[in-house]
């Protein structure tokens, strides 16, 4: 049996491969993601809901803005997790025809509780093989903070293309350029420096397809997969403030890498992170305020297939 998240830190086939200097395959990636989401179900929405842009929108709301409000559109939330985006859309317009897909049963169970009696269709499936969804049956595919994790990515883009109508849209929220948000690179480097003490090549090898993380490589990949589409990428920054130690906990929760740390080194990392994020000079930890900012990109792909 697998030994997960004990005093030794989180263990998966993916981390075992890295520890043995092997390149993890897609089976190892799925095992790793499922292990984390089983242990920490709903963790993404904690951080993503708190972080807001200058006008007060969190990243779910920023993405949901691109779904028109006045039609009974067919919308698919790909890798919907615990369902926060579907809930925003359902509360806004009960006429939308909503579906959510995710490969993690624990996340879907949480989504089911939140969307009880909503009629939203929740499906357990991998994004690479959407067998229960018909060709040309969806007007908008959404994907919030999950494209970055998918490898192989090309079958996912092919499935999105297959299920979308000829004038459909694909809208995704992915990592923005690190330089767009103050201190973000320092936060990233600090967390990875702790992780690399335990797994030296974590970072050199990371989850998913690295092309999703850069605006230019993302644009090239999308142009290849959707040659006739109009592609637009916008950058935004979302932030949160609060007691520095709490902000550090929530910010670290957003980095998959932080989940592999042993409890002792995680504690040390959080203390260092709260110092890095501090924006006030109070002497006690409980009084010190902190701020975390995160760069995000919103990808909009508009098909126009004749």
Ligand X SMILES: C[S@@+](CC[C@H](N)C(=O)[O-])C[C@H]1O[C@@H](n2cnc3c(N)ncnc32)[C@H](O)[C@@H]1O
Provide long-range contacts, Cβ within 8 A and 24+ apart, for 45-50: 45/81, 45/82, 45/84, 46/250, 46/253, 47/240, 47/250, 47/251, 47/253, 47/254, 48/84, 48/144, 48/145, 48/254, 49/84, 50/240, 50/250
Contact between 126 and ligand X per CB under 6 A: yes
Contact between 64 and ligand X per CB under 6 A: no
- Nearest-approach distance from CB 53 to ligand X, in angstroms: 16
- The torsion defined by the Cα of 219, 220, 226 and 229, in degrees rounded to 10, comes to 50
Contact between 75 and ligand X per CB under 6 A: no
Contact between 37 and ligand X per CB under 6 A: yes
Q: Tokens 């989940």 appear where?
A: 259
Cα 161 off chain centre by: 21
**127 vs 171, beta carbon nearer ligand X:** 127
Cα(140)–Cα(192) distance, rounded to whole angstroms?
A: 35
Q: Give the H/E segment covering residue 169.
A: strand 164-175
**75 vs 127, beta carbon nearer ligand X:** 127
User: 32, 47, 64, 84: which one contacts ligand X (CB under 6 A)?
Assistant: 84
Stretch that binds ligand X, among 113-121, 123-131, 232-240, 241-249 (CB under 6 A): 123-131
- Nearest-approach distance from CB 283 to ligand X, in angstroms: 36
Residue 9, both tokens: 């830190």
**37 vs 288, beta carbon nearer ligand X:** 37
**10 vs 244, beta carbon nearer ligand X:** 10
Could you write out the three-class secondary structure of 56-100?
CCCHHHHHHCCCCCCCCCEEEEECCCCCHHHHHHHHHCCCCEEEE
Q: Tokens 């040390």 appear where?
A: 268
How many residues touch ligand X under the rule CB under 6 A: the total is 22
Contact between 81 and ligand X per CB under 6 A: yes
Contact between 144 and ligand X per CB under 6 A: yes
CB count, 10 Å around CB of 191? 23
- Nearest-approach distance from CB 80 to ligand X, in angstroms: 5
Stretch that binds ligand X, among 87-95, 96-104, 162-170, 272-280 (CB under 6 A): 96-104
Contact between 222 and ligand X per CB under 6 A: no
Binders of ligand X among 101-120, rule CB under 6 A? 102-104, 107
Contact between 122 and ligand X per CB under 6 A: no
**64 vs 245, beta carbon nearer ligand X:** 64
Stretch that binds ligand X, among 44-52, 161-169, 195-203, 286-294 (CB under 6 A): 44-52
Instruction: Using CB positions, name the residue nearest to ligand X.
Output: 81
**Residue 140 φ then ψ, to 5°:** -135, 125
Cα(244)–Cα(86) distance, rounded to whole angstroms?
A: 31
- Nearest-approach distance from CB 55 to ligand X, in angstroms: 20
User: 80, 199, 260, 301: which one contacts ligand X (CB under 6 A)?
Assistant: 80
Cα(157)–Cα(163) distance, rounded to whole angstroms?
A: 10
User: 146, 257, 269, 296: which one contacts ligand X (CB under 6 A)?
Assistant: 146
Strand order in the sheet with 74-78: 121-124, 97-102, 74-78, 138-144, 164-175, 289-302, 230-243
Contact between 249 and ligand X per CB under 6 A: no
Residue 24, both tokens: 């993890």
Residues at the contact surface with ligand X, assessed by CB under 6 A: 33, 37, 44-45, 48, 79-82, 84, 102-104, 107, 126-128, 144-146, 149-150
């Amino acid at each position: 049996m697998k030994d997960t998240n004990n005093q030794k830190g989180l263990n998966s086939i993916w981390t075992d491969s890295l520890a043995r200097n092997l390149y993890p395959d897609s089976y190892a990636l799925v095992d790793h993601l499922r292990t984390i989401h089983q242990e920490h179900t709903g963790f993404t929405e904690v951080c993503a809901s708190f972080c807001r842009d200058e006008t007060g929108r969190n990243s779910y709301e920023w993405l949901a803005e691109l779904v028109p409000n006045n039609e009974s559109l067919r919308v698919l939330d790909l890798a919907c997790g615990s369902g926060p985006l579907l809930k925003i859309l359902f509360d806004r317009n009960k006429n939308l025809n909503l579906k959510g897909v995710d490969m993690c049963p624990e996340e879907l169970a949480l989504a089911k509780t939140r969307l009880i009696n909503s009629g939203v269709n929740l499906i357990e499936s991998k994004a690479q093989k959407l067998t229960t969804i018909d060709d040309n049956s969806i007007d908008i595919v959404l994907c919030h903070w999950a494209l970055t994790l998918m490898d192989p990515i090309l079958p996912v883009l092919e499935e999105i293309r297959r299920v979308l109508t000829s004038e459909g849209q694909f809208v995704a929220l992915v990592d923005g350029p690190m330089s767009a948000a103050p201190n973000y690179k320092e936060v990233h480097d600090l967390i990875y420096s702790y992780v690399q003490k335990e797994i030296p090549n974590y970072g050199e090898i990371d989850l998913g397809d690295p092309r999703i993380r850069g605006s230019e490589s993302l644009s090239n990949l999308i142009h290849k997969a959707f040659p006739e589409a109009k592609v637009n990428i916008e950058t935004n920054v979302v932030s949160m403030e609060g007691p520095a130690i709490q902000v550090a906990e929530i910010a670290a929760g957003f980095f998959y890498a932080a989940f592999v740390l042993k409890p002792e080194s995680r504690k040390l990392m959080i203390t260092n992170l709260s110092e890095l994020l501090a924006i006030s000079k109070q002497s006690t930890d409980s009084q010190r305020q902190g701020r975390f900012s995160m760069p995000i990109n919103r990808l909009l792909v508009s098909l126009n297939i004749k």
